[in-house]
Amino acid sequence: MKNARKRATTSRAHSRARSKSPAGSSRSRTAVSPSVDLESRLPFPVHGALQLPAVTVTSYNVELRARGRFVGDMASSTAFTERIDAWRATAREAGNDPFGRIKTDDLSRKELERILHRGDADAAGIVQSALDDFARAFVEVIRQFRRHKWRHVEKIVVGGGFRQSRLGELAIGRAQSLLHDEDIAVDLCPVTDHPDEAGLIGAAHVLPRWMLRGFNGLLAVDIGGSNIRCGAITFRPTGKQHVRSTAVHHSSQWRHREEQASRRDIVDELIDMLKQSSSAARKKGIKLAPVVVVGCPGCIGIDGGIRRGAQNLPGGWDGARFHLPTLIAERLGSLSGHRPAVVMHNDAVIQGLSALPAMRDVAHWGILTIGTGLGNAAFARRDES
C-alpha cells in the first residue's frame, strides 16, 4: 500500500493542500485545555497547555454559532467554492454561465487566478464577486470573534491553505479594507512562513528551553483532515526561556483523504514518515531532541486525548480508547538515545506560534486558519523571565 501512496518529500516541502478543524459549535463552548493552576503545579509541559514559554493561549478551537450554523463555516475554502457556485447559478438563470459544464470543484485555484487576471470578463466577474462575498463573510467572522472572545486582539494572522494562494491574499486585502471602512481596529497579516511549514515551525515554541538544551533540532507533526505532514525543524535560543525556529530541513506529506485511509493507516504512515525525517536529520548532523510535537485538530486534553473537534479525521480520534502520543512514543524508537516524549496541541495554536518573531511588539493576537474549516487560536504575550 505504501508504494501506492502519494507522498511529496523535499528538503523544504511546499505542499499545497490544507484542511483545518472547523470553528464551530455553541457560544458556551470554548475549547481551553487544562486549568492554568494545574499546569503551574506540574514540573513538565502538558498536552494542550495554555501557559507556554512566550505566550498564554487565551483561547483556541472557539466554537461559536450564529443563525443556526457554525460561524467559522462562513469563511472556509468550502464557503468560497459555494459562493462561486451561487454566482454561477445566477449567471445560468440569465442564460450565460461562462464556465459551461465544468464543475466548480474541478477548477483549481491557479485556474481561477488565471481567469481573474487574464480570462473571460464574465468568468472573472464571477470570481471577483465570490471573493468580495468571502471577504465580507470573513469580516463578519472577525466581528463575531471580537464580540465574544477576542476583545483585546490587535492583530490577526491568517494561515491555512487558502491563504497561500493569490485568491486568499486578495480576499485578505479586501477584508482589511472593509475593516478599516467599518473602523474595526484590527490588522490582518498573512502568516509569514509558508502555511505548510508554519504548522511545523511553531512546534519549537511549545516547549520550554530546558527541554531543548544541548539539541538543535526537533521532530514535528501536523495532522489535518486531508493530509499529514512530518518534518525536522531546527532552532536556536533567543532568550532565557525562548527559542527561535529557523527552518524545516526535511519534511514529507501524505494526502490520506485521497486514499480513503483508515485511522490505522494514518498512524502507520505517520510513524514511517517520522522515522524518515529522523534519519534525514541525523545525516545532516542535526541533533534531535528526544521529543515529538504533534499538532492535531480539536480540543486537546491534559492527558493527550482529543476531547472534541476531530470529526474531519477518519475512524474516531476522540475519546479514551485512542491515544496518539502513546502510539508514537512506543513505535518510533529512540531519539538521541532516549525514548521520545510526545507533546500534542491544537494545530491552529502551533501554526499561530510560528508568528511569534513577527509579534514582538503585540500584546494580544490571534490566528485564523482557512482550510476546509476555520481553525482559530488567540494569544497574550508573557514577559520573559
User: Does residue 95 belong to any structural domain of this protein?
Assistant: no
User: Does residue 169 belong to any structural domain of this protein?
Assistant: no
What's the rounded mean pLDDT across residues 135-155? Answer: 93
Q: In total, how many domains does the chain have? A: 1
User: What is the pLDDT confidence band of residue 357, given thresholds at 50, 70 and 90?
Assistant: confident
User: Does residue 39 belong to any structural domain of this protein?
Assistant: yes
Measured CA to CA, the distance from residue 209 to residue 53 in angstroms comes to 8
Q: What is the pLDDT of residues 302-327, one digit of tens each?
A: 989 998 888 888 888 987 789 999 99
Domain residues for the domain of 342 are 2-67+194-381
User: Does residue 268 belong to any structural domain of this protein?
Assistant: yes
What is residue 320's predicted lDDT score, i.e. its pLDDT? Answer: 78
Q: What is the pLDDT of residues 106-130, one digit of tens each?
A: 999 999 999 999 989 999 999 999 9
Percent of the chain with pLDDT over 70: 86
What is residue 193's predicted lDDT score, i.e. its pLDDT? Answer: 86
User: What is the pLDDT confidence band of residue 17, given thresholds at 50, 70 and 90?
Assistant: very low
User: Does residue 244 belong to any structural domain of this protein?
Assistant: yes
CB atoms inside a 10 Å sphere around CB 302:
16
> Cβ contacts of residue 286 below 8 Å, gap of 6+?
216, 217, 232, 234, 249
Q: What is the pLDDT of residues 224-283, one digit of tens each?
A: 888 899 999 998 866 555 677 678 988 899 989 888 899 999 999 999 999 999 999 999
CB atoms inside a 10 Å sphere around CB 279:
11
What is residue 195's predicted lDDT score, i.e. its pLDDT? Answer: 79
**pLDDT higher for 300 or 318?**
300
Closest by CA to 380, choosing from 148, 154, 45, 144, is 154
Q: What is the pLDDT of residues 161-170, one digit of tens each?
A: 888 788 999 9
User: The domain spanning residue 355 has which CATH number?
Assistant: 3.30.420.40
User: Does residue 46 belong to any structural domain of this protein?
Assistant: yes
User: Does residue 174 belong to any structural domain of this protein?
Assistant: no
User: Does residue 15 belong to any structural domain of this protein?
Assistant: yes
